[in-house]
Protein backbone atom coordinates (compact mmCIF):
# COMPACT_ATOMS: atom_id res chain seq x y z
CA UNK A 1 0.00 0.00 0.00
CA UNK A 2 1.21 3.51 -0.85
CA UNK A 3 1.85 5.03 2.59
CA UNK A 4 0.82 8.57 3.44
CA UNK A 5 0.28 9.91 6.96
CA UNK A 6 -3.40 10.58 7.64
CA UNK A 7 -4.04 13.39 10.06
CA UNK A 8 -6.44 16.03 11.25
CA UNK A 9 -6.41 19.75 11.97
CA UNK A 10 -6.14 20.65 15.64
CA UNK A 11 -6.06 24.08 17.21
CA UNK A 12 -3.00 25.11 19.19
CA UNK A 13 -5.33 25.97 22.09
CA UNK A 14 -6.76 22.44 22.14
CA UNK A 15 -3.33 20.84 21.89
CA UNK A 16 -2.05 22.86 24.85
CA UNK A 17 -5.17 22.20 26.92
CA UNK A 18 -6.10 18.61 26.06
CA UNK A 19 -2.94 17.10 24.61
CA UNK A 20 -3.15 14.65 21.72
CA UNK A 21 -6.25 12.82 22.94
CA UNK A 22 -8.38 14.40 20.21
CA UNK A 23 -6.02 13.00 17.55
CA UNK A 24 -5.42 9.57 19.07
CA UNK A 25 -9.12 8.84 19.67
CA UNK A 26 -9.57 9.15 15.90
CA UNK A 27 -6.82 6.59 15.32
CA UNK A 28 -4.57 9.12 13.55
CA UNK A 29 -0.85 9.80 13.79
CA UNK A 30 -0.52 13.22 12.16
CA UNK A 31 -1.88 16.73 12.57
CA UNK A 32 -1.70 20.23 11.21
CA UNK A 33 -1.66 22.69 14.11
CA UNK A 34 -3.93 25.70 13.56
CA UNK A 35 -2.71 28.86 15.32
CA UNK A 36 -4.86 31.97 15.06
CA UNK A 37 -3.93 33.45 18.44
CA UNK A 38 -0.41 34.73 17.81
CA UNK A 39 0.03 35.54 21.51
CA UNK A 40 0.32 31.78 22.07
CA UNK A 41 3.37 31.51 19.78
CA UNK A 42 5.91 31.60 22.61
CA UNK A 43 9.03 29.62 23.39
CA UNK A 44 7.41 28.14 26.50
CA UNK A 45 4.43 26.91 24.48
CA UNK A 46 6.74 25.46 21.84
CA UNK A 47 8.47 23.43 24.55
CA UNK A 48 5.09 22.28 25.87
CA UNK A 49 3.91 21.21 22.41
CA UNK A 50 7.10 19.26 21.74
CA UNK A 51 6.65 17.43 25.04
CA UNK A 52 2.94 16.78 24.37
CA UNK A 53 3.36 15.26 20.89
CA UNK A 54 6.59 13.40 21.66
CA UNK A 55 7.36 10.73 19.09
CA UNK A 56 3.74 9.62 18.72
CA UNK A 57 2.27 12.40 16.58
CA UNK A 58 3.81 14.08 13.54
CA UNK A 59 3.05 17.78 13.05
CA UNK A 60 2.95 18.18 9.27
CA UNK A 61 2.77 21.98 9.33
CA UNK A 62 1.73 25.02 11.34
CA UNK A 63 -1.27 26.88 9.93
CA UNK A 64 -0.67 30.52 10.90
CA UNK A 65 -3.54 32.96 11.22
CA UNK A 66 -3.37 36.74 11.35
CA UNK A 67 -5.02 39.60 13.22
CA UNK A 68 -7.81 41.82 11.97
CA UNK A 69 -11.20 41.22 10.34
CA UNK A 70 -11.96 38.16 8.23
CA UNK A 71 -15.11 37.59 6.21
CA UNK A 72 -15.27 34.36 4.23
CA UNK A 73 -17.37 35.45 1.25
CA UNK A 74 -16.98 36.99 -2.20
CA UNK A 75 -17.92 40.55 -1.26
CA UNK A 76 -16.01 41.42 1.91
CA UNK A 77 -13.47 38.60 1.61
CA UNK A 78 -11.18 40.45 -0.83
CA UNK A 79 -11.21 43.45 1.54
CA UNK A 80 -10.41 41.54 4.73
CA UNK A 81 -8.44 38.34 4.07
CA UNK A 82 -4.71 37.66 4.05
CA UNK A 83 -1.92 39.96 2.87
CA UNK A 84 -3.88 41.54 0.03
CA UNK A 85 -5.66 44.35 1.99
CA UNK A 86 -3.00 47.04 2.44
CA UNK A 87 -4.34 48.41 5.73
CA UNK A 88 -3.81 45.08 7.55
CA UNK A 89 -0.72 43.93 5.66
CA UNK A 90 2.13 44.92 7.96
CA UNK A 91 0.58 43.45 11.14
CA UNK A 92 -0.15 40.23 9.29
CA UNK A 93 3.34 39.98 7.85
CA UNK A 94 4.68 40.25 11.40
CA UNK A 95 2.22 37.57 12.58
CA UNK A 96 3.40 35.19 9.86
CA UNK A 97 7.04 35.83 10.76
CA UNK A 98 6.21 35.05 14.37
CA UNK A 99 4.57 31.85 13.17
CA UNK A 100 7.73 30.94 11.27
CA UNK A 101 9.80 31.41 14.42
CA UNK A 102 7.37 29.21 16.36
CA UNK A 103 7.58 26.52 13.66
CA UNK A 104 11.36 26.64 13.95
CA UNK A 105 11.06 26.13 17.72
CA UNK A 106 8.84 23.10 17.03
CA UNK A 107 11.41 21.74 14.60
CA UNK A 108 8.87 21.52 11.78
CA UNK A 109 9.58 22.61 8.25
CA UNK A 110 6.38 24.24 6.97
CA UNK A 111 3.96 27.03 7.74
CA UNK A 112 0.69 27.47 5.84
CA UNK A 113 -1.74 30.36 5.47
CA UNK A 114 -4.36 31.98 3.27
CA UNK A 115 -2.69 34.88 1.47
CA UNK A 116 -6.10 36.23 0.43
CA UNK A 117 -7.80 36.98 -2.88
CA UNK A 118 -4.63 37.44 -4.95
CA UNK A 119 -5.55 39.75 -7.85
CA UNK A 120 -6.02 37.96 -11.15
CA UNK A 121 -4.57 40.92 -13.05
CA UNK A 122 -0.77 40.92 -12.57
CA UNK A 123 -0.48 44.46 -13.93
CA UNK A 124 -2.18 46.09 -10.93
CA UNK A 125 -0.38 47.85 -8.10
CA UNK A 126 -2.32 45.68 -5.62
CA UNK A 127 -0.90 42.50 -7.16
CA UNK A 128 2.67 43.83 -7.19
CA UNK A 129 2.47 45.02 -3.58
CA UNK A 130 1.07 41.65 -2.50
CA UNK A 131 3.95 39.83 -4.18
CA UNK A 132 6.45 42.14 -2.42
CA UNK A 133 4.82 41.35 0.93
CA UNK A 134 4.86 37.61 0.24
CA UNK A 135 8.52 37.81 -0.78
CA UNK A 136 9.47 39.51 2.48
CA UNK A 137 7.69 36.92 4.63
CA UNK A 138 8.91 33.99 2.55
CA UNK A 139 12.50 35.31 2.63
CA UNK A 140 12.24 35.49 6.41
CA UNK A 141 11.02 31.87 6.41
CA UNK A 142 13.83 30.81 4.09
CA UNK A 143 16.44 32.20 6.49
CA UNK A 144 14.92 29.96 9.17
CA UNK A 145 14.83 26.91 6.89
CA UNK A 146 11.02 27.03 6.70
CA UNK A 147 8.74 26.51 3.70
CA UNK A 148 5.96 29.07 3.15
CA UNK A 149 2.84 27.33 1.84
CA UNK A 150 -0.20 28.93 0.19
CA UNK A 151 -3.52 27.28 1.01
CA UNK A 152 -5.54 27.10 -2.20
CA UNK A 153 -8.98 28.44 -2.88
CA UNK A 154 -9.19 32.20 -3.13
CA UNK A 155 -7.34 32.43 -6.44
CA UNK A 156 -7.27 30.44 -9.66
CA UNK A 157 -4.46 27.89 -9.95
CA UNK A 158 -2.67 29.84 -12.65
CA UNK A 159 -2.76 33.03 -10.54
CA UNK A 160 -1.14 31.12 -7.69
CA UNK A 161 1.54 29.71 -10.00
CA UNK A 162 2.22 33.20 -11.38
CA UNK A 163 2.51 34.57 -7.85
CA UNK A 164 5.00 31.88 -6.89
CA UNK A 165 7.01 32.54 -10.05
CA UNK A 166 7.02 36.29 -9.46
CA UNK A 167 8.00 35.88 -5.80
CA UNK A 168 11.01 34.00 -7.07
CA UNK A 169 12.03 31.92 -4.05
CA UNK A 170 12.63 28.18 -3.73
CA UNK A 171 10.93 27.70 -0.36
CA UNK A 172 7.38 28.27 -1.60
CA UNK A 173 4.86 25.44 -1.57
CA UNK A 174 1.14 24.75 -1.84
CA UNK A 175 -1.30 23.33 0.67
CA UNK A 176 -3.91 21.83 -1.65
CA UNK A 177 -7.45 22.21 -0.32
CA UNK A 178 -9.55 20.60 -3.07
CA UNK A 179 -12.84 21.67 -1.55
CA UNK A 180 -11.80 25.31 -1.42
CA UNK A 181 -11.18 25.32 -5.16
CA UNK A 182 -14.83 24.31 -5.52
CA UNK A 183 -16.26 26.48 -2.72
CA UNK A 184 -14.67 29.58 -4.23
CA UNK A 185 -15.57 28.53 -7.78
CA UNK A 186 -11.95 28.64 -8.91
CA UNK A 187 -11.12 25.23 -10.43
CA UNK A 188 -11.67 21.52 -10.69
CA UNK A 189 -9.27 20.26 -7.98
CA UNK A 190 -8.09 17.23 -9.98
CA UNK A 191 -7.12 19.46 -12.90
CA UNK A 192 -5.43 21.85 -10.46
CA UNK A 193 -3.02 19.10 -9.36
CA UNK A 194 -1.67 18.99 -12.91
CA UNK A 195 -0.90 22.71 -12.63
CA UNK A 196 0.58 22.65 -9.11
CA UNK A 197 2.47 19.38 -9.62
CA UNK A 198 5.44 19.00 -7.22
CA UNK A 199 4.76 22.29 -5.48
CA UNK A 200 2.13 20.52 -3.35
CA UNK A 201 3.52 19.98 0.16
CA UNK A 202 0.28 19.49 2.08
CA UNK A 203 -3.27 18.34 1.35
CA UNK A 204 -6.53 19.04 3.15
CA UNK A 205 -8.99 16.19 2.75
CA UNK A 206 -12.15 18.24 2.50
CA UNK A 207 -15.16 17.97 0.21
CA UNK A 208 -17.65 20.50 -1.06
CA UNK A 209 -19.67 21.98 -3.90
CA UNK A 210 -19.53 24.94 -6.24
CA UNK A 211 -21.24 28.22 -5.25
CA UNK A 212 -24.87 28.72 -6.20
CA UNK A 213 -24.84 32.54 -6.13
CA UNK A 214 -22.38 35.38 -6.55
CA UNK A 215 -22.03 36.35 -2.90
CA UNK A 216 -21.58 33.21 -0.83
CA UNK A 217 -19.12 30.33 -0.94
CA UNK A 218 -20.27 26.88 -1.93
CA UNK A 219 -21.28 24.29 0.66
CA UNK A 220 -18.63 22.30 2.53
CA UNK A 221 -19.66 18.65 2.98
CA UNK A 222 -18.52 15.38 4.47
CA UNK A 223 -16.02 13.49 2.31
CA UNK A 224 -17.85 11.62 -0.43
CA UNK A 225 -20.89 13.91 -0.37
CA UNK A 226 -19.42 16.74 -2.42
CA UNK A 227 -17.90 17.09 -5.88
CA UNK A 228 -14.24 16.21 -5.19
CA UNK A 229 -13.27 13.01 -7.00
CA UNK A 230 -10.94 11.68 -4.30
CA UNK A 231 -9.90 8.43 -6.04
CA UNK A 232 -8.80 10.42 -9.08
CA UNK A 233 -7.29 13.19 -6.93
CA UNK A 234 -5.14 10.70 -5.01
CA UNK A 235 -4.16 8.96 -8.23
CA UNK A 236 -2.95 12.28 -9.58
CA UNK A 237 -1.07 13.12 -6.37
CA UNK A 238 0.65 9.72 -6.39
CA UNK A 239 1.56 10.30 -10.04
CA UNK A 240 3.59 13.31 -8.86
CA UNK A 241 5.07 11.24 -6.00
CA UNK A 242 3.33 13.22 -3.26
CA UNK A 243 4.89 12.34 0.11
CA UNK A 244 3.17 14.73 2.52
CA UNK A 245 0.25 14.21 4.89
CA UNK A 246 -3.43 13.85 4.10
CA UNK A 247 -5.02 16.13 6.68
CA UNK A 248 -8.76 15.64 7.15
CA UNK A 249 -10.75 18.83 7.64
CA UNK A 250 -14.47 18.97 8.49
CA UNK A 251 -15.76 22.46 9.24
CA UNK A 252 -18.51 21.56 11.69
CA UNK A 253 -18.51 20.82 15.42
CA UNK A 254 -19.96 18.13 17.66
CA UNK A 255 -20.28 14.34 17.34
CA UNK A 256 -21.04 14.51 13.59
CA UNK A 257 -17.62 16.05 12.96
CA UNK A 258 -15.91 13.07 14.61
CA UNK A 259 -18.09 10.63 12.65
CA UNK A 260 -17.25 12.32 9.36
CA UNK A 261 -13.51 12.38 10.12
CA UNK A 262 -13.48 8.64 10.89
CA UNK A 263 -15.48 7.99 7.72
CA UNK A 264 -12.98 10.05 5.70
CA UNK A 265 -10.07 8.08 7.19
CA UNK A 266 -11.70 4.79 6.16
CA UNK A 267 -12.32 6.06 2.61
CA UNK A 268 -8.70 7.18 2.31
CA UNK A 269 -7.35 3.83 3.53
CA UNK A 270 -9.59 2.02 1.07
CA UNK A 271 -8.33 4.15 -1.84
CA UNK A 272 -4.67 3.83 -0.83
CA UNK A 273 -5.02 0.07 -0.49
CA UNK A 274 -5.13 -0.12 -4.28
CA UNK A 275 -1.58 1.25 -4.67
pLDDT for 1 equals: 74
The end-to-end CA distance of the chain, in Å, is 5
Q: Is 145 left (phi over 0), alpha (psi -120 to 50) or beta?
A: left
pLDDT for 256 equals: 96
pLDDT for 7 equals: 97
Judge contact between 46 and 13, C-beta under 8 A.
no
Q: pLDDT means per 10 residues in the chain (275 residues)?
A: 92 96 93 98 98 95 98 98 98 98 98 98 98 98 98 97 98 98 98 98 98 98 98 97 97 96 97 94
pLDDT for 96 equals: 98
Q: Is the pTM of this model over 0.85?
A: yes
pLDDT for 49 equals: 98
Q: Report how far Cα 189 is from the mean position of its chain's Cα atoms.
A: 14
Q: Which residues pair with 202 in a beta bridge?
A: 175
pLDDT for 2 equals: 86
Residues 51 and 55: their CA atoms lie apart, in Å, by 9
pLDDT more than 70, % of the chain: 100
Amino acid sequence: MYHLDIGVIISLESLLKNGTEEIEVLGLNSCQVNAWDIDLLTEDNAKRVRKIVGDNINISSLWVGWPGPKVWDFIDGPLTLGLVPAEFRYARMEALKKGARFAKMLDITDITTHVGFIPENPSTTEYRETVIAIREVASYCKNLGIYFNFETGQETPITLIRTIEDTGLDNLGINLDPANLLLYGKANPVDAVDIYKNLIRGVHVKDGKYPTDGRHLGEETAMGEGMVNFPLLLDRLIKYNYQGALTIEREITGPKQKEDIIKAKEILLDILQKY
